Structure 1
Amino acid sequence: MGSMQEARTINLTMDLCLRIGEMLLSSGAGAADVTATMQSVARHLGLRNPVIDVTFTSLSMGYSISSEEAPLALFRQVVQRDIDYEDLTSVDGLVRDVLDDEVDLMEARAVIARIASSGHHRRRWLVTAGYGVMCAGVALMLGGNAAVMAVATTAAVLIDRLQLVMSRRRLPFFYQQIAGAAVATLLAVGAAALEGSVDPSQAITANIIMLLSGIGFMGALQDCLTGYYVTGGARMIEALLATSGIIAGVSGGLAVADIAGVSIGRLEPGSTSLIGLSLMALGAAVSAAAFAFSAYSPKRVMLPIALIAGAAMVISQVVETSGFGRTWSVGLAAFFIGLVSFSVSTMVRVPPLVIVVSAIVPMLPGLSIYRGLSLLGDDGDSAGGILALVTAASVAIALAAGVILGEYVAQPLRREARRLERRLSGPRLVGPFRARTNR
């Protein structure tokens, strides 16, 4: 009887770990983070050295009580992947509670079931409005006027509604990206034909960045860097397909514009004067916070994300104008984001992923993609178009690599701060010098 009870407890523990891992993986967490979280929970609840395997679409966990008994093995399929930072934050909080012994096994199972089955307090139309504000912020960052911001906002609302309908009909994400990019391009072309003050290139670029924000570049590169090549390769293929959908939709819309005789033009970066840089920082802050809002992030994290994104945009522009080029500038800005987000996430009690993904959204390579497609449309500059698309890929890699390197540097600095605290003695001017923990 005792052996049966032990097997039942082990089974429930493994099921809890798999449910936690499933929600983390489906929300964009890297395979290394998912594996480490599952191992921490399993070890804390009494399972030593479980066998955990994480791939792009499934999770498995095995445990052997002894060499004389048959091992236990459980599996779960990841059937849905979506950016949902409310669930991600809730699961992260549950894991902390389990490790702090604030909830036991059965309470944790009840909490994870409630998180998985409950909806959101934020209404869906507010999410759509958030995407509209996000594209307006990107348009402002690109130097667009009020008309451009209005077109970008309208297109964002239409794209979100269209993709929502398509997802409910279970159409693949690739086709959703094609449809969204085509809607953005055709709407911008139509607005340019009716109103001469609308720069369609700015509106299209703003909506390209919106479409890019839903692609998991961060998790894909993190899996590749941490040795999870199967999961990283699958995520990379998904990201490439989604990006290809954007390229197909935009190029189709540009072909329609060419047939209709509407001049699109090529977007050049805005002024980096003090006033221009201030507007770029403001646009970046607005777009990053709006994306976080649309991804169901907690309200307490909006202001820190806006401040970090604005500062990162200033760093990127200053470095680029100093002669380092686009790739190095966004890489250093992403390093700054990864470095500060580790500490900020502790203060606002969210996973660092929530901050870093939202803060890099304004620097996604929508401009390079649009420029590449425009140049490819010119008969004499195909080489320039290919170069621009290659630049877009290098910017995406630089963003992800910079953020991950910042996280690697931030963690040992945090440990050294705790060691310094233990060595300090004597009077302290204001309160105890105490490094905050993840608890």
Structure 2
Amino acid sequence: MSETRTLHLTMDLCLRVGELLLSSGAGAADVTATMQSVAHSLGLRNPVIDVTFTALSMGYHADPELPPLTLLRSVVHREIDYEDLTRVDHLVSQVLLGEVDVVAARATVARISSSGHRRKRWAVTTGWGVMCVGVALILGGGVAVCAIAFSAAVAIDRLQAFLSRRRLPSFYQQVAGGGLATLLGVLAAWAGLAVNPSLVVTANIVMLLSGVGFMGALQDCLSGFYVTGSARVMEALLSTAGLIAGVSGGLAVADVLNVDVGRISPGEGTWQAVTGIAIGSAIAAGAFAFSSYAPKRTVVPIGLVAAIALVIDNQIVSGGFGRTWGAAVAAFFVGVVAWSLSRWVKVPPLVVVVSAVVPLLPGLLIYRGLALLSEDAGDPAAGILALATAASVALALAAGVILGEYVAQPLSREARKLEGRLSGPRLVGPLRAKFRRV
């Protein structure tokens, strides 16, 4: 009986750890490898683990003469949360080293999942506003555009928080956010401000774009989790479709009010000089990490990495090699640097990687592609080309990051044995297989 109880506790711990990692932004490959590592360290050999977009399952057959044991757990809440991700990653390291037992580890996981954040919510809202200011600088916006972008980001964040508390699906939250962002641009045009309405809307909606999800989906596909990756692609496209609907609604209001805002084409703004790109990308990446509850010690290093990465991308694109190769080389640089930097600031490499590539994400390309396909007077060929370019950029980012981690992250023989069918270095979870003897 005591062995059965220990088996249940061990499997439940693995599932709870996997749930927290998956809901906090980790990839399916990292979640599976982490669950395998925890199970192996606690004496559970060769469990069957399955990770999908909304559910986790774990099975174990201890005795051929007894029925197998299978536990399931649903993943409902999805939010990028690097504070919980870091705390779980540190707990996994303690379990692998034998510093905590199953009972203490389950208690810690329960505290992590049930406790709130130490960072105040108003500070997170301010962080989103600062992030949009950074994007406005990257696109060459002036003081007026930066001020509108900050105000819009703050208003959108509070609106989405209000709608989320009322359990409104994310699609409708995107519609509301896109509509509010566009209405602020319309208001700026109505007030006669000397700003480009397209640039204003671009800076406003960037926090709603789904480039992070799209890149994560391709990362899952590269790691062999095609079902989960396909589901994440659908989520990213549906999220962007809601954003397009909101922007279209805002433009309809402008037509009714006879306010001329011209053609809204997010992503077609002229980029700033190299200095402006570096400063803007550092601000955007650092603010994104801060707003995603990353530890404060990571904000400045992530900003510096992002600035260098975007300058690399800009120089390669300016040299005529195309945006895809620029994104790939910049992502490779981020992947190489993230390994050492993450150990220095004591966070999983995923925190550094995702935050640093935020200025490079193809969310605006996804928007433009879907918008051109949905408009009555749109250009279907240009829309398909924009979506294909977005897919190539996202694939280049994911592949470049993974290749950079391969080069920088030494995988021991034990880790390769443990992962079995899994491919790729770890962005979350055990980076070195150091287990206690059981």
Q: TM over 0.5, yes or no?
A: yes
* CA distance in structure 2 between the partners assigned to 1:370 and 1:63 by the alignment: 44
Which of 198, 202, 206 aligns to 1:201? It is 198
- The verdict on how the C-alpha distance between 1:258 and 1:239 changes in structure 2, with shifts beyond 3 A counting, is same
Structure 2 residue 258 is the aligned partner of structure 1 residue 263: no
Are the counterparts in 2 of residues 217 and 239 from structure 1 also a CA contact under 8 Å? yes
SS at match of 2:57: strand
Q: Distance in 2 between matches of 1:407 and 1:110?
A: 32
Displacement, 1:366? 4.5
Q: Does the 8 Å CA contact 1:346/1:438 hold for their aligned counterparts?
A: no
2:21 counterpart of 1:28: no
| 8 A Cα contact 2:212 2:354, kept in partner | no
Change (3 A) 1:65 1:375: closer
Residue 170 of structure 1: SS of its match in structure 2? Answer: coil
Instruction: Say which SS state the counterpart of residue 168 (structure 2) adopts.
Output: coil
Q: 1:321 to 1:5 in 2, by over 3 A?
A: same
Q: Distance in 2 between matches of 1:182 and 1:50?
A: 48
Alignment of 1:164-179 (within 5 A): 164-179=161-176
Structure 2 contact 212–358 (Cα < 8 Å) conserved: no
- The corresponding residue for 1:11 is 8
**Match for residue 405 of structure 1?**
403
One-letter amino acid matched to 2:343: T
Which amino acid letter does the alignment assign opposite residue 347 of structure 2? V
Whether the 8 Å CA contact 1:159–1:180 is kept in 2: the answer is: yes
Which residue number in structure 2 is paired with residue 313 of structure 1?
Answer: 310
Q: How many Å separate the matches in 2 of 1:256 and 1:387?
A: 30
Contact 1:218 1:357 in 2 (8 A): no
Partner residue, 1:430: none
- CA RMSD after TM alignment: 2.5
CA 171–50 in structure 1, closer or farther in 2 if over 3 Å, else same = same
**What corresponds to 1:43 in structure 2?**
40
**Structure index of larger Rg:** 1
Cα 1:362–1:35, aligned 2, differ >3 Å: closer, same or farther?
Answer: same
Mind listing any 5+ residue stretches in structure 2 that lack a counterpart?
A: 414-430
CA gap 1:246/1:394 in 2 versus in 1, 3 angstroms: farther
CA contact (8 A) 1:189 1:257 kept: yes
Pairwise mapping of residues 30-429 of structure 1 onto structure 2 (< 5 A)? Answer: 30-212=27-209, 215-258=212-255, 260-265=258-263, 268-270=268-270, 276-368=273-365, 379=377, 383-412=381-410
For residues 60 and 374 of structure 1, what CA distance do their matches in structure 2 show?
A: 38
TM (norm. structure 2) is 0.88
Contact 2:286 2:303 in 1 (8 A): yes
Q: Which runs of 5+ in 1 are unaligned?
A: 417-435
Q: Cα gap change, 1:203/1:365 in structure 2, threshold over 3 Å: closer, same or farther?
A: farther
Given the superposition, is the C-alpha separation of residues 389 and 249 from structure 1 closer, same or farther in structure 2, using an over 3 Å criterion? farther
- CA deviation after TM superposition for structure 1 residue 406, in Å: 2.2
**Distance in 2 separating the partners of 1:243 and 1:330:** 21
Quote how far apart the aligned CAs of 1:302 are.
0.7
Aligned to 1:432: none
Q: Deviations over 1:217-254 (max 9, x none)?
A: 23311221111122111112111111222222223333
Conserved 8 A contact 2:363-2:390: yes
Q: Secondary structure at the match of 2:319?
A: helix
Alpha-carbon distance in structure 2 between the residues aligned to 1:122 and 1:283: 24
Alignment size in residue pairs: 413
Q: What is the Cα deviation at residue 75 of structure 1?
A: 1.2
Cα distance in 1, alignment partners of residues 379 and 216 from structure 2: 34
Report SS of the residue matched to 2:320: helix
CA shift for structure 1 position 349: 1.1
Inter-partner Cα distance in structure 1 for 2:236 and 2:384: 19
CA contact (8 A) 1:341 1:356 kept: yes
Of the structure 1 ranges 13-22 and 246-255, higher mean CA displacement relative to structure 2 is found in 246-255
How far apart, in 2, do the equivalents of 1:9 and 1:180 lie? 47
Q: Could you say what secondary structure the match of 1:216 adopts? A: helix
Q: Deviations over 1:141-162 (max 9, x none)?
A: 1111111001111110111111
Q: Distance in 2 between matches of 1:386 and 1:36?
A: 36
Match of 1:431 in 2: none
**1:403 aligned partner, one-letter code:** V
d(CA) in 2 for partners of 1:209, 1:314: 20
Q: Which has the higher contact order (CA 8 A, sep 6+)?
A: 2
Instruction: Quote the Cα distance in structure 1 between the aligned partners of 2:32 and 2:323.
Output: 34
Aligned amino acid, residue 85 of structure 2 = L
Could you tell me whether the CA contact under 8 Å between 1:209 and 1:362 is conserved in 2? Answer: no
Is residue 241–residue 370 contact of structure 2 (8 Å, CA) maintained in 1?
no
TM-score scaled by structure 1?
0.87
> How many angstroms does 1:54 deviate by?
1.1
Is the CA contact (8 Å cut-off) linking 1:137 and 1:283 kept in structure 2? yes
Match of 1:421 in 2: none
Residue 22 of structure 1 contacts residue 78 of structure 1 at CA under 8 Å; is this kept in 2?
Answer: yes
What CA distance in whole angstroms lies between the structure 2 residues aligned with 1:365 and 1:258? 29
List per-residue Cα deviations over 1:100-143 (Å, max 9, x = no partner): 12212211111111111110011111111110010011101111
Change (3 A) 1:392 1:343: same
Residues 339, 405 of structure 2: 8 Å contact kept = yes
Cα–Cα, structure 1 residues 51 and 437, in superposed 2: closer, same or farther, change >3 Å? closer
Separation in 2 of the partners of 1:222 and 1:393?
Answer: 12
Q: Return the alpha-carbon distance in structure 2 between the equivalents of residues 55 and 381 of structure 1.
A: 36
Q: Deviations over 1:261-311 (max 9, x none)?
A: 413355645356xxx111111000001110111110011111111011100
Deviation (angstroms), 1:386 = 4.6
2:421 aligned residue = none
Deviations 1:352-410 (A, max 9, x none): 11111111111223443565578776958564455334433433333233222322333
Distance 1:209 1:10, change over 3 A: same
